[in-house]
Amino acid sequence: MQRAQVSNSQSALQTKFVPAQKTRLQSIKDCARYVWEKLVKLTTIVLPPNLGAMTISVNADINILPTLRSNVDWRVNYYLWLFSASSIEMPCNVSSHCRVHISNSYCIDKTCQCTRNHLLRNGNACVPVTASYCSTTDDCSDPESICIENRCQCRTSYVMRKSKCLPTKLAERCSKHSDCSEVKFAMCLNGQCVCIDKFFAVNATTCAKALGGSCITNKDCTVRFSSCFERICQCNRDYTQYSDSQCVAMELGTTCFDNSTCNLIRNAHCFENQCSCKDNHVEINAFTCSPLLNAICSDVLECAPTNSVCIDHKCQCKFSYFMKSNYECVLMYLEQRCRIDKDCIDIRFAKCSDAGKCVCHQNYVRTGPTTCSPTLGGYCTSNRECVTINAECSRYRCRCSAEYMQFSVNLCLPVFLGQKCNMDDDCNKISNAGCFNKKCQCRRGYTKFNHENCLPLIGASCTEHKECAVYNSNCVNNTCQCLETYVPQTQSQCLSTALDVICYSNNDCEILNTHCSRFQFCVCNKNFIAMDSKSCVTILEADCITNATCTTANSDCIENKCQCNQGFVRGLYNDCVSATLGDACATNLDCKNIPNAICIDKKCACKLDTFALTPSACTHLLNTNCSSSADCGIDASHCFENKCQCISDWTAITDTICAKRKYRLFYSLVVKKALQNCSAGFELYYCNDALDCGEPWHSKCSQNRCVCNANHMAVNELTCLPILGGPCWKDDQCMTKNTHCIDFKCQCKPGFVSVATNMCVAS
């Protein structure tokens, strides 16, 4: 008998078991269990060579270590190692022995077992079952479960059944057929849930009976265009089986719901629920569609038109032939030599000319080497055949559209004002009209009366009274003039000189600068007009010598004419009103009544670093120089450190808008963006970077708030749009009136000029 070699140290007891000659024992496992039950403190056991070099650390008590005999079978050592390897079912006396090695275990019937709501994993771990407490996903026993809010839960596409996560969709992982029980008619194959034989996947959660499967009624056959014949699901008449899950049409005209139903018919697709030939293809027979000219092809002889071939995967006419239409190749072409008309028969509407060449008939024009198209009066079947601009096919003849008139065999001219034109002659159907900005419009001195007439203004030629368009005017000596007791204010206005005073002589007219008219009521003298029916004021532009002669407010005698003072312009009612942006000027003084405006290109316009607050005022942009808060006209702004800035608790969202900083936050369900409740109806998005604020061309993120870029203005809580000079790619992005997008920048339209970054006026 040989004892095991034992050495003692302060930290552990090392026991080395050396297998001796094999000896039959009644219970090797019991022997090992006995040894294990006596071990409590750390011991290192070295396995015999035939088990490989391995050292296992276990708990052992050196005070009660048994003596092992040398003739004990080496398998005792193996079982001892097995129990010491921190595994479930290892022998124990108390639960603390189990928990030292395996969490969530306890001692029952002298062996370590997993506690309730925990399952064994890999023989040496107890993990929570689904719906049990967990701290990480590794704690969950089911491989298809994850730890959410400290509970083991099945992941998406799985459902818990009897503490196990089962897939609810096809193609999910499985280990046995029962794992796929949530999907009817599914089984486990190669580790995935699939439909059983004779069934196919309709979608991720449904297996339906395939073609060839047994059935009792037509409802059992779910494949489209299939029915139950002789207790087997088969394709309906006019359909054939394309796969286990598809019946396809055999002929053109068969009912379909998608293109796949027409797969067997060459060059066919599903159109209006019928298998039909694709665009630019023609039906050859019930089973075939062939490509026409310019359609894609693959075979040399596949193309339908005679004398056509497939070249570079496109149907084209053979050499020396010409395409007359997408279904016809002809040998003859216009200007080719001929003897009689029959030689040109391949070209529709062509004849043989006296010069011996194929030419188009009268009322037809050449539109291609083999095509004659109808002009006005020519035969047609559709509008697109008529080549004359503004013509249409009416009663099988090309005629001018309703809004146009025929001017020649190939010319339709507009009848109404506003119609498109290229030259003045295009508008000669409308008297006193010309072509301006590519549209028929009234000439200078005339005004639009309706869609068909331009009537003369004051001073324009006329032949009868009704032609004169201005109220209180008549045709006198072939010229439109204001009625008696009226004087012209402009070409389009006649102002009254009459007062509400009856008279019989001049003495009865006590109002200054009045006399008694032949109609027996007081009227203003020459060069005066009635103002409020109680006074007479000098007509602007009337002759004068001194300022006293010019009685209109804000007017003086300038160059012997009553004119508005600098900073004022002539109004509609013989008054002088303050100039506004866009009014004509000669010097900066003419714009003096407009804050921060100067004369630029003979127009009153805003200075640099200002914008049009109103048509009659320019104010400083935010962050531009100022001397007092009066310079800063933007709401909630003031002059601080010689710069126009937003007041406290307000922030700049553009260089023209201050918005209140106080805000409420809420989050959308899709993207967690915080909105700020701002002034003037604006709300700012909270942001971290520019992408949070939408299109980077127009907005950016500044101090965690979405703000508009330079040359932009906020039009609502979500949108910044460019003003003049701002970037754009389409007209409707330019928010300034009378602007459009040119060369990717917002610019004034033709006929308009810029007087501020946010205003264009007529030039």
The CA dihedral of 92, 93, 95, 99, to the nearest 10 degrees, is: -40
Structure tokens at 523: 């009227």
Q: How confident is the model at residue 344 (pLDDT cuts 50, 70, 90)?
A: confident
Same domain, 502 and 541: yes
The pLDDT of residue 162: 67
Same domain, 496 and 558: yes
Structure tokens at 300: 């040399």
Final residue belonging to a domain, choices 404, 428, 456:
456
Segment 217-255, tens digit of pLDDT: 888 788 888 889 888 888 888 788 887 778 887 788 888
Q: How confident is the model at residue 690 (pLDDT cuts 50, 70, 90)?
A: low
Closest alpha carbon to 13 in 68, 80, 58? 58
- Is residue 723 within 8 A of residue 746, CB to CB? The reply is yes
Q: What is the DSSP letter of 589?
A: G
Same domain, 254 and 238: yes
Angle CA 660–662–664, to nearest 5: 125
The pLDDT of residue 500: 79
Transcribe 168-235 into DSSP letters: SSTT-B-SSGGGGTTSTTEEEETTEEEEPTTEEEEETTEEEEPTT-B-SSGGG--STTEEEETTEEEE
* 573 backbone dihedrals φ, ψ, rounded to 5°: -120, 50
Same domain, 483 and 430: no
The pLDDT of residue 196: 85
In a domain, 440, yes or no: yes
- One-letter amino acid at 239 equals Y
The pLDDT of residue 54: 35
In a domain, 56, yes or no: yes
pLDDT (mean) for 715-731: 76
Segment 511-559, tens digit of pLDDT: 888 899 888 888 888 888 887 777 888 888 888 888 888 888 899 999 9
Q: Which of 126-140, 254-268, 307-321 has the lowest mean pLDDT?
A: 126-140
In a domain, 206, yes or no: yes
Domain that holds residue 324: 292-330
The pLDDT of residue 24: 40
Same domain, 150 and 215: no
Structure tokens at 127: 């993990």
- One-letter amino acid at 756 equals A
Same domain, 440 and 476: no
- Rounded CA-CA distance 261/248 in Å is 4
Q: How confident is the model at residue 293 (pLDDT cuts 50, 70, 90)?
A: very high
Contacts of 742 (CB under 8 A, 6+ apart): none
Segment 421-442, tens digit of pLDDT: 777 877 877 888 888 888 888 8
pLDDT (mean) for 163-180: 79
The pLDDT of residue 686: 67
Q: How far is CA 369 from CA 36, 288, 293, 352, 410, in A?
A: 105, 32, 16, 15, 20
Q: Within 10 Å of residue 30's Cβ, how many Cβ atoms?
A: 12
E strands along 571-632, which residues? 576-578, 597-600, 603-606, 610-614, 617-620
Q: Which of 52-56, 92-96, 159-163, 301-305 has the lowest mean pLDDT?
A: 52-56
**What's the number of domains the chain is made of?**
7
Between residues 104 and 685, which one has the greater pLDDT? 104
Segment 186-201, tens digit of pLDDT: 899 998 888 888 788 8
The pLDDT of residue 256: 84
The pLDDT of residue 352: 92
- pLDDT above 50 (res 464): yes
Structure tokens at 49: 């060579």
In a domain, 346, yes or no: no
Contacts of 527 (CB under 8 A, 6+ apart): 538, 539, 542, 543
Between residues 161 and 708, which one has the greater pLDDT? 708
Q: Within 10 Å of residue 642's Cβ, how many Cβ atoms?
A: 12
The pLDDT of residue 212: 81
Transcribe 641-652 into DSSP letters: TTEEEEPTTEEE
The pLDDT of residue 588: 93
Most confident of 238-242, 477-481, 487-491: 477-481
Between residues 36 and 232, which one has the greater pLDDT? 232
The pLDDT of residue 122: 67
Q: What is the DSSP letter of 379?
A: B
Segment 82-97, tens digit of pLDDT: 444 456 777 788 887 7
E strands along 305-369, which residues? 308-311, 314-317, 322-325, 328-330, 350-352, 358-360, 364-368
- pLDDT above 90 (res 65): no
In a domain, 427, yes or no: yes
pLDDT (mean) for 732-759: 85
Q: What is the DSSP letter of 607?
A: P
The pLDDT of residue 8: 36
pLDDT (mean) for 434-455: 83
Same domain, 475 and 577: yes
Closest alpha carbon to 541 in 558, 554, 520? 558
Q: How confident is the model at residue 203 (pLDDT cuts 50, 70, 90)?
A: confident
Structure tokens at 339: 């003897």
What rounded mean pLDDT belongs to the chain? 77
Q: How much of the chain, in percent, has pLDDT values that exceed 70?
A: 81
Q: How confident is the model at residue 694 (pLDDT cuts 50, 70, 90)?
A: low
Final residue belonging to a domain, choices 562, 588, 614:
588
Tokens 């303050």 locate to: 578
Same domain, 239 and 322: no
- Rounded CA-CA distance 758/721 in Å is 11
Same domain, 497 and 538: yes
Same domain, 113 and 179: no
Contacts of 461 (CB under 8 A, 6+ apart): 478, 479, 480
In a domain, 647, yes or no: no
Same domain, 134 and 235: no
Same domain, 506 and 439: no
The pLDDT of residue 294: 92
In a domain, 361, yes or no: no
- Rounded CA-CA distance 385/281 in Å is 21
Q: Which of 177-181, 285-289, 419-423, 574-578 has the lowest mean pLDDT?
A: 419-423
Contacts of 401 (CB under 8 A, 6+ apart): 390, 391, 392, 412
Segment 386-404, tens digit of pLDDT: 988 889 999 899 998 877 8
Q: How confident is the model at residue 659 (pLDDT cuts 50, 70, 90)?
A: confident
- pLDDT above 70 (res 614): yes
Q: How far is CA 632 from CA 436, 505, 617, 618, 668, in A?
A: 42, 59, 12, 10, 37
The pLDDT of residue 674: 30
- Rounded CA-CA distance 484/472 in Å is 9
The pLDDT of residue 712: 78
- pLDDT above 50 (res 5): no
